[in-house]
């Protein structure tokens, strides 16, 4: 798992201003250090945030369609964009306006005419803070060996996801996955090769968590979990079966496996997110775990739900 801050050159800054000259000026100041994208209106800015996921937003206070304060408030109200620092650019500011900036969630503001060195240093400082926070979150919520989410993520973030899906009156699916005869694999090939095997299986499982809110989790040891919001039983069944088939197609040698190849067993279950708000996601995990046990008891190398 990568544990390095990405360079400024890889950071995207969204410049929002209805005046083309202002956008060009701000871009010329920042482009030697960061990647700049721009928007000419508040509505376009919100769309750009969804499409490009900028690391920071430089936002004009006064725009004809949606004013900067409303744009900032809208972005902060969305879980997908709330974490993006917003720096206001304004020609005049009084105490009341300054307070409004803080109240809608702004990180900072700069005055026009912009001083180039001040702008660059402020942008770099805010990017540094965001990147460090993201790295800390990655260290907290990801398994170091595989890079998948860990049990801390399951405990802290999945309940929030369930609440969101419940508001949309949809379902959540869970797949519990176990590597067959993994202890024998470790004992025979060694722990280093065992780690390589875990990483390979993790990559394969992560490939099936294709949507932004899907979560591939290392549940513990050689056991993994896939959380699939907004997915019905047929969808979860197909993904579980695809994962089992995919690891077989990799043809990883395992002397104790069926046909001398490594295999997976999986159990899956689906529940209404509204129901999970009352019973907790652990009840869904338990149901999938029971089916995982059945898959192992009935011969392994299969998915049951």
Tell me how far CA of residue 81 lies from CA of 53, 250, 287, in angstroms: 8, 38, 34
Is 275 noted as a catalytic residue in this protein?
Answer: no
Question: What span, in angstroms and rounded, lies between the C-alpha atoms of 44 and 181?
Answer: 53
Of 127, 116, 131, residue with least CA distance to 27: 116
Q: Hey, what are 29's tokens? A: 């100041």
Given a contact cutoff of 8 angstroms between Cβ atoms, the answer to whether 273 and 229 are in contact is yes
Q: How far apart are CA 187 and CA 192, in angstroms?
A: 11
Point out the catalytic residue in the list 222, 241, 250, 286: 222
Neighbours of 174 (CB within 10 A): 29
- Nearest residue to 222 via CA among 195, 240, 249: 195
Hey, which residues are catalytic here?
A: 222
């Amino acid at each position: 798992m990568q544990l390095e801050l990405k360079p400024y050159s890889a950071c995207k800054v969204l410049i929002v201003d209805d005046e083309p000259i202002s956008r060009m000026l701000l871009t010329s100041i920042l482009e030697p250090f960061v990647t700049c994208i721009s928007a000419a209106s508040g509505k376009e800015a919100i769309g750009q945030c969804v499409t490009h996921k900028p690391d920071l937003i430089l936002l004009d206070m006064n725009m004809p369609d949606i004013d900067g304060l409303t744009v900032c408030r809208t972005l902060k109200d969305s879980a997908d964009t709330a974490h993006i620092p917003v720096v206001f650019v304004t020609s005049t500011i009084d105490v009341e306006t300054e307070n409004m900036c803080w109240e809608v969630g702004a990180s900072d503001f700069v005055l026009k005419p912009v001083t180039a060195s001040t702008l660059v240093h402020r942008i770099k400082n805010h990017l540094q803070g965001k990147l460090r926070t993201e790295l800390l979150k990655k260290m907290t919520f990801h398994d170091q060996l595989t890079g998948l989410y860990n049990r801390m993520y399951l405990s802290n973030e999945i309940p929030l996801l369930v609440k969101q899906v419940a508001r949309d009156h949809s379902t959540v699916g869970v797949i519990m996955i176990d590597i067959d005869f993994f202890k024998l694999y470790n004992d025979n090939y060694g722990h280093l090769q065992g780690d390589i095997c875990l990483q390979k299986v993790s990559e394969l499982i992560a490939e099936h968590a294709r949507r932004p809110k899907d979560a591939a989790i290392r549940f513990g040891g050689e056991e993994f979990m896939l959380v699939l919001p907004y997915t019905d039983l047929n969808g979860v069944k197909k993904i579980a079966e695809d994962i089992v088939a995919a690891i077989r197609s990799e043809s990883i040698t395992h002397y104790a496996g069926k046909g001398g190849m490594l295999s997976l067993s999986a159990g899956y279950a689906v529940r209404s997110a509204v129901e999970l708000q009352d019973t907790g996601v652990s009840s869904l995990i338990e149901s999938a775990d029971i089916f995982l046990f059945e898959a192992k008891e009935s011969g392994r190398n299969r998915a049951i739900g």
